[in-house]
Structure 1
């Protein structure tokens, strides 16, 4: 009885991984071949990049401020107050900027994309795309992946920069 459940669980897990690999492969191929839906890609740039800009900038700003405040107090004890700028820039560029940007974008955009595609699946819009001869992966997945791949690094740079500005404001 227990071995049957374990067997079913392992089988289901392998099938899920197989479907994921198939989706990633299909999306990767679709990026390189026409047709390319430029309008959808630009809409996703707006949704993922511009839509996340406020959250990412605020998180970066306040993180830089808090980092400067806390590290400044600690470095004052050792007479190394002049190192606050280096500490903030290194921390924001190497560590906190990318992590915070990833978390903010994943939290904001990931749930939105999942809800949107789930709603489209329930209301048979994806089946309608197939019936019209449109590849759903090319139309729905590829623009979101491209927008995420291109916008997250830009948002990371902005978060690091605004974090350093926040540190400068506090010091």
Structure 2
């Protein structure tokens, strides 16, 4: 069995964000048979169909997604919805012919935010996934409070319970991706 290549995208642009911290933890604790590459979407311009050339940061994102077997999205919540940076990145990638970069790809979603974590944004992101023909993993869900002692001052995840949940989610994503791969053969 080949290694599962996962491409992680944080919707937060801050280097020390809790959402980036979730992805860093996931990358460092991926199960055997899984590798995780992290995207940097800070320089991606707003989607504009009038642009004749694909901006370099967008092409880098598209290349990373094309090589990936699955996606891992860290979804912040801004005003009860998806962070604009994450939605913008997905909008750019979805413009590939016949949405070939996203269609049929398994995805796991996690997030850190205030109060309820990012529950509302994650459910909104699931709606976007339906349109993009992505296959979201249902469980386990990962919601965390970004403003709690679960993260240190650098945005690193230090909460053992959430760490364990992320490892469980990665194992479930690995199984989900294999199931989808088997069904599509």
TM-score (norm 1): 0.26
Q: Of Structure 1 and Structure 2, which has the larger fraction of its residues in helix? A: 1
Q: Of Structure 1 and Structure 2, which has the larger fraction of its residues in strand? A: 2
- Quick one: higher RCO (CA 8 Å, sep 6+), 1 or 2? 1
Rg bigger for which structure? 1
